[in-house]
Amino acid sequence: MSQNLGNLEETVLLIVAVMAEEAYGYTVSEAYYKHMGGRISISAIHTVLKRLEKKGLIISKMGGATAERGGRRKRIFEVTKIGMSTLEHIQSNRMKLWDLMPKLNFSA
Amino acid sequence: MTNYKNISPPGWANRFLEWYCADDLLDEIQGDLLEAFYFRKEEVGVGKAKWWFIWDVLRFFRPSSFGKRSYNSNQLAMLRNYLIVSLRNFRSHKGYSVINLSGLIVGITACLLISLHVMEEVTYDNFHPKSDQTYRVVMDMFGQGELKTKSAPVFAAVGPNLLNDLPEVEMATRILPFGGGVYSVRKSDGTLVRFNEEHAVLADENFFEMFGFELIDGDVKNVLAQPKQIVLSQSAAERYFSTENPIGKSIFWRGTRELKVTGVYKDFPENSHMKFDMITSLKSWDGYEEFMNNWGWYDFYTFVKTPANISQKSLDTKLEDYLDEKKVDFYSERNVREVMWTQKVGDIHLYSTNLSWDMGQNGGGEQIYFLSIIALLILVIAWVNYVNLATARAIKRAKEVGIRKVVGAAKSNLIVQFLVESFLYNAFAVIISLLSVWFLINPINNILEISLETSILFGSTIIGGLLVLILLGTLCSGLYPAIVLTSFKPVTVLKGRLHTNRRKFGFRQVLVIFQFTASITLILGTFLVIKQLAYMRSQDMGINIEQTLVLTGASSGSSNEDLEERLKLFKTKLEALPEVKGFTLSNNVPGIENFSISGFTSKHYPTELRDCYRMRIDDKFISQFEIELLAGRSFSEQMATDTSAIILNKVALKHLGFNTPEEALGEKINPNTERPLTIVGVVDDYHQATLKQALNPVIFTFRKDFGDFYSIKMVSDDYSSSLARIEREWDELYPDNPFDFFFLDELFDRQYKADEQFNTIFIGFAILAIFVACLGLFGLVSFTVEQARKEIGIRKVLGASVDKLVLLLARDYARLILLAVVIAFPLGYFLMQEWLKGFAYQTEIGVGIFIFGGVTISLIAFVTVSFKSFSAANGNPVNALREE
């Protein structure tokens, strides 16, 4: 894997992948709060999304405008194939490591 | 229905976002933020959502949001070029740049430090509620139509009566400074915690409403409302109760009076003229009920607050004759008068001078003006030096300017370039200065024993001031070089012909003379301060205070008899110790200001009261301190009549009208009163305080078995173990009194602290002035040498030696220094004389100081000049001459 993903990048990528509704700045930030507990600012989310897009892990298109947004359009993100495989790759690497975890049993 | 404005995000933040955000990014960024606001206001409330929105807008304020609008503008590119060129210039002439920068840094640092001090001084007591309408009532005391004393405290009755009688007074608080002595607390394990408290007072119950001191624990209205209540400062509470909660606990004053702790206050801030460790309710004082009508006892600091529409003047008018009515009989009988007036609480620290029994170290208002002017002067000089050096550099950079012009730079471009450069210098210097102040504050506080606080440093005033300073500095110090540089004609410059008259007597020369005059004056002053201090220390004190250990007398006991008994026992026990050569009791010792002063009459002054200081001593005092007896004898325990005997010192002798010591013996003092005193001896004068003060008339009275101080003459090889032995004896006899001691010679020497501080500050300023003056001189030399390179080259080619050339260059400056010396010597002499007037005993100014000062400054100046001119004279003339 050529791409190095930071912790936050990986989390955001994962969130975009699992989100059922449209993924854009505000919804991603809310989903982050919902799933991870902590808050990060929308500007930080934007930066991460932009970086992920640059790396080709997600792709964006402009979506529709709503009244809540003051008539502004959304930039909606979707995970690309590379993004998906990157996630899977990370996951399988992790699992391999977990399998190596010595299984100690203190109760015996 | 909420109105629309309230539910939309703050307009200015939104507009700000629209302003900086690139258009193509506006959709996603603004959209997301608006949507977030829309949902958040339901979730967390409108107010919080607004703050959140503002925060988000600020977070988005970064280059990635700006888009690529104006990056390739010519203006910006040039600005970048200026920055690069400035930095390159800095790097390629490190020596010059560092010198130039350090001049600015030193100037700004000094200016900052002084400003900190000034700000601290002018903000004294500004934290009290309505501090503008809070006054202290003080009074002038007249006798026989003549001003006798200005008194800071007034009569017990003044406070409550003013409150009753005058509509101008809406609140009055009295402070009685008599809470000193031993305080002790019995711990649960039976041990006794005990300390001598100096800063303990009694105060009216509204103390914490009158002043802005912060109560941490306890109720503002009730902490001092009842008798036997005491409020402690945080540090006092820690001292007695460590981590326990002191509220409701008992603390004993002088062993017998039980007080209940009702509150704890935050230690008084540094900028308060009052510093109290503990405050007892005034109602605890025996006879509090009579205070209302007590127009005789004047130990009460009295503070009043007026309604907003009352001026100090109208209050003072009411106060002026207020006492005349109350004390009419007393005044006419004695031919005396007392006139009250007020001081603003905020003015006490700086402007309350010449008041007797004042609280705190006050005065120095003029000093603050003086310091502010110095600070400004230092700054201006630093800037001028920068200008000097920068213009000197300009000649070297003339070619750069020429090329820029030829390539098409307008004059304005060049000015901007030099302003950018001076901005960089100033901004950098300010930042470094801030840092150095931050690091210097602690050492400076330690050396000068003052307390500058860093908290002000990052307050809005200083930071704002610094920003203004950077801008002002940029303009002041950048504009002149910029204009000079840009006025060069490109053709002349590129041809390498650029001359001004070296011997012209211009602004720079005047500046150097001014700087050196200041430096020389300061150097002279430094030498004089050192000399005067040494002189005062070397004088005969008239008293031997060596090897004397002084204990603070015990004040905690069940009764006066108990204290006397124990003291007798303690005395016998101590005298049995081999290292103790003497033990004497007195109510004061040299080095501590004597406050007890009374009027006495004699046969030469039968009606007029002559003020003399009073000392109560025992029979050993005079012999133990080796005070010379001029006539008569010392007190004696054997003489029963000595309770009404007195001893005079020489000044008192003259003061009371006697001519010779012998004549006074057997005479009476206060002859026509019920209790006349007989003069049994006359002693030579000795210095109670430093030689700064003149000798005072002193009358000694006899008091055995009692004393505020116990002086022990010791001869020992091992003081620490002797001290331990004495402490053991003390603890055995005085478990309820703390063992507080000091060595008398050390205490006495501490009186010179203020003068030593002054000396340190002086030396600091002198070094600073010399440094700055050398920078100025250096700038001037560089400037001239730079211009005279060709001249030097030609002279060298024609056979001039290096020495001759250096001398030739130095001659110009020698004139300047000489002129500075001519101005500085009389000026210095005058100032030195003025300063010496503050001392009763003055050293000779002497020629030595002038010679030494003149030589020092000449050497420093010569080194500075030759630094540059040697390198110029040593250079290969070819280098200077081939440029044509």
Task: Say if the Cβ atoms of A42 and B28 lie within 8 Å.
Answer: no
Q: Which chain B residue has its CA at the smallest distance from A41's CA?
A: B56
Task: Say if the Cβ atoms of A46 and B27 lie within 8 Å.
Answer: no
Q: Which of B197, B366, B211 is nearest to B273 (CA)?
A: B211
Task: Say if the Cβ atoms of A68 and B34 lie within 8 Å.
Answer: yes
Residue B500 has pLDDT above 80, yes or no: no
Average pLDDT over residues B131-145: 90
| Of the partner residues B26, B27, B33, the one whose CB lies closest to the CB of residue A42 | B33
Give domain status of residue A23, yes or no. Answer: yes
Dihedral angle, C-alpha B597, B602, B606, B610, nearest 10 °: -20
- CA of B23 to nearest chain A CA: how many angstroms apart? 12
CA B613, B618, B619, B622 torsion-angle sign:
negative
Q: Picking from B229-238, B496-505, B628-637, B642-651, which range would have the lowest pLDDT averaged per residue?
A: B496-505
Which tokens go with B678? 């007989």
User: Please, which pLDDT band fits residue B9 given cuts at 50, 70 and 90?
Assistant: confident
Is residue A74 within 8 angstroms of chain B, CB to CB?
Answer: yes
Task: Please write the tens of the pLDDT for every residue from B298-318.
Answer: 889 999 999 988 899 999 999
User: Please, which pLDDT band fits residue A106 given cuts at 50, 70 and 90?
Assistant: low
What span, in angstroms and rounded, lies between the C-alpha atoms of B388 and B779? 6
Q: Which of B294, B287, B303, B286 is nearest to B153 (CA)?
A: B303
Task: Please write the tens of the pLDDT for every residue from B179-221.
Answer: 888 899 988 888 888 898 989 999 999 999 999 999 999 999 9
- CA of B25 to nearest chain A CA: how many angstroms apart? 10
| Residue A49 parent element (H or E) | helix A42-54
Give domain status of residue A38, yes or no. Answer: yes
Task: Say if the Cβ atoms of A68 and B26 lie within 8 Å.
Answer: no
Residue B3 has pLDDT above 70, yes or no: no
Average pLDDT over residues B71-88: 79
What span, in angstroms and rounded, lies between the C-alpha atoms of B620 and B613? 20
Number of domains in chain A: 1
B784-806 burial, b if ≥16 CB within 10 A, otherwise e? bbbbbbbbbbebbeeebeeeebb
Task: Say if the Cβ atoms of B31 and A29 lie within 8 Å.
Answer: no
- CA of A31 to nearest chain B CA: how many angstroms apart? 12
What span, in angstroms and rounded, lies between the C-alpha atoms of A14 and A33? 14
What span, in angstroms and rounded, lies between the C-alpha atoms of A43 and A64? 21
User: Higher confidence at residue B692 or residue B748?
Assistant: B748
Per the CB < 8 A criterion, the answer to whether B276 and B457 are in contact is no
Is residue B32 within 8 angstroms of chain A, CB to CB?
Answer: yes
Which residue type occupies B52? W
Chain A positions in Cβ-Cβ contact with residue B38 (cut-off 8 Å):
68-69
pLDDT at residue A1, rounded to an integer: 46
What span, in angstroms and rounded, lies between the C-alpha atoms of B306 and B688? 42
Q: Picking from B135-144, B459-468, B583-592, B723-732, which range would have the lowest pLDDT averaged per residue?
A: B459-468
Using DSSP's 3-state secondary structure scheme, residue B135 falls into strand
Task: Please write the tens of the pLDDT for every residue from B95-108.
Answer: 778 888 888 898 88
Residue B2 has pLDDT above 50, yes or no: no
Task: Please write the tens of the pLDDT for every residue from B756-768.
Answer: 877 887 788 888 8
Using DSSP's 3-state secondary structure scheme, residue B711 falls into strand
Give domain status of residue A14, yes or no. Answer: yes
pLDDT at residue B835, rounded to an integer: 83
Task: Say if the Cβ atoms of A26 and B55 lie within 8 Å.
Answer: no
What span, in angstroms and rounded, lies between the C-alpha atoms of B247 and B234? 12
Using DSSP's 3-state secondary structure scheme, residue B241 falls into helix
Average pLDDT over residues B471-486: 79
User: Please, which pLDDT band fits residue B171 given cuts at 50, 70 and 90?
Assistant: very high
Which residue type occupies B203? A
Give domain status of residue A108, yes or no. Answer: no
What span, in angstroms and rounded, lies between the C-alpha atoms of A96 and B380? 71
What length is written for chain A?
A: 108
Give domain status of residue A1, yes or no. Answer: no
Task: Say if the Cβ atoms of B64 and A47 lie within 8 Å.
Answer: yes
Give the best residue of B4, B24, B32 to mutate against chain A (max A CB count within 10 A).
B32
**Would you tell me which residues 42-71 of chain B have a C-beta closer than 8 angstroms to some C-beta of chain A?**
55-56, 59-60, 62, 64
Q: Which chain B residue has its CA at the smallest distance from A67's CA?
A: B35
- Centre a 10 Å sphere on the Cβ of residue B346 and count the other Cβ atoms it contains: 21
Backbone angles phi, psi at B167, to 5 degrees: -70, -15
Chain B positions in Cβ-Cβ contact with residue A73 (cut-off 8 Å):
27-28, 31
Share of chain A above pLDDT 90, in %: 19
| Residue B196 parent element (H or E) | strand B192-197
Give domain status of residue A25, yes or no. Answer: yes
Task: Say if the Cβ atoms of B31 and A74 lie within 8 Å.
Answer: yes
pLDDT at residue B69, rounded to an integer: 54
What span, in angstroms and rounded, lies between the C-alpha atoms of B675 and B881? 99
Chain A positions in Cβ-Cβ contact with residue B27 (cut-off 8 Å):
62, 72-75
Is residue B33 within 8 angstroms of chain A, CB to CB?
Answer: yes
Per the CB < 8 A criterion, the answer to whether A43 and A53 are in contact is no
Domain containing A64 equals 7-100
Task: Say if the Cβ atoms of B32 and A42 lie within 8 Å.
Answer: yes
Chain B positions in Cβ-Cβ contact with residue A44 (cut-off 8 Å):
59
Chain B positions in Cβ-Cβ contact with residue A26 (cut-off 8 Å):
31-33, 35-36, 39
Q: Which of A61, A55, A12, A9 is nearest to A35 (CA)?
A: A12
Residue B494 has pLDDT above 90, yes or no: no
Per the CB < 8 A criterion, the answer to whether B21 and B65 are in contact is yes
| Of the partner residues A43, A47, A70, the one whose CB lies closest to the CB of residue B31 | A70
CB-side neighbour CA atoms (13 Å) of B565 = 6
pLDDT at residue B183, rounded to an integer: 92
User: Please, which pLDDT band fits residue B248 given cuts at 50, 70 and 90?
Assistant: very high
What span, in angstroms and rounded, lies between the C-alpha atoms of B434 and B445? 16
Per the CB < 8 A criterion, the answer to whether B495 and B485 are in contact is no
- CA of B77 to nearest chain A CA: how many angstroms apart? 27
What span, in angstroms and rounded, lies between the C-alpha atoms of B17 and B63? 13
* pTM check: above 0.90: no
CA B82, B88, B93, B99 torsion-angle sign:
positive
Average pLDDT over residues B65-87: 75
pLDDT at residue B719, rounded to an integer: 85
Is residue B35 within 8 angstroms of chain A, CB to CB?
Answer: yes
Q: Which chain B residue has its CA at the smallest distance from A43's CA?
A: B60
Q: Picking from B108-112, B779-783, B802-806, which range would have the lowest pLDDT averaged per residue?
A: B779-783
Which tokens go with B125? 């007591």
Task: Please write the tens of the pLDDT for every residue from A4-20.
Answer: 788 888 999 999 998 88
User: Higher confidence at residue B620 or residue B456?
Assistant: B620
Q: What is the CATH classification number for the domain harbouring A81?
A: 1.10.10.10
Residue with tokens 């970086």: A51
Q: Picking from B346-350, B483-487, B832-836, which range would have the lowest pLDDT averaged per residue?
A: B483-487
Task: Say if the Cβ atoms of A25 and B26 lie within 8 Å.
Answer: no
What span, in angstroms and rounded, lies between the C-alpha atoms of A93 and B321? 96
pLDDT at residue B413, rounded to an integer: 82
Write the secondary structure of B747-800 as one string of H (helix), E (strand) and C (coil): HHHHCCHHHHHHHHHHHHHHHHHHHHHHHHHHHHHHHHHHHCHHHHHHHHHCCC
Average pLDDT over residues B524-541: 86
Give domain status of residue A43, yes or no. Answer: yes
Q: Which chain B residue has its CA at the smallest distance from A77's CA?
A: B28
Beta carbon pairs, A and B, within 8 Å: 66
Sequence-distant (6+) residues with CB within 8 A of B596 are B587, B588, B613, B614, B615
Backbone angles phi, psi at A23, to 5 degrees: -100, 110
Task: Say if the Cβ atoms of A29 and B36 lie within 8 Å.
Answer: yes
Is residue A86 within 8 angstroms of chain B, CB to CB?
Answer: no
What span, in angstroms and rounded, lies between the C-alpha atoms of B844 and B107? 34
Tell me, rounded to whole angstroms, the distance of Cα B760 from its chain centroid: 13
Chain A positions in Cβ-Cβ contact with residue B30 (cut-off 8 Å):
69-70, 72
Give the best residue of A46, A51, A61 to mutate against chain B (max B CB count within 10 A).
A46
- CA of B52 to nearest chain A CA: how many angstroms apart? 9
Average pLDDT over residues A33-47: 88
Task: Say if the Cβ atoms of A42 and B36 lie within 8 Å.
Answer: yes
- Enter the ipTM: 0.86
Task: Say if the Cβ atoms of B30 and A70 lie within 8 Å.
Answer: yes
What span, in angstroms and rounded, lies between the C-alpha atoms of B52 and B65? 18
- CA of A83 to nearest chain B CA: how many angstroms apart? 22
Which tokens go with B839? 């001392």
User: Please, which pLDDT band fits residue B4 given cuts at 50, 70 and 90?
Assistant: very low
Give domain status of residue A2, yes or no. Answer: no
Task: Please write the tens of the pLDDT for every residue from B692-720.
Answer: 778 889 999 998 878 889 999 988 888 88
pLDDT at residue B161, rounded to an integer: 94
- What is the DSSP annotation of A82-93? HHHHHHHHHHHH
| Of the partner residues A43, A68, A73, the one whose CB lies closest to the CB of residue B60 | A43
Average pLDDT across chain B, whole number:
85
**What are the distances in angstroms from CA B425 to CA B79, B136, B744?**
16, 49, 53
pLDDT at residue A104, rounded to an integer: 67
Average pLDDT over residues B149-166: 92
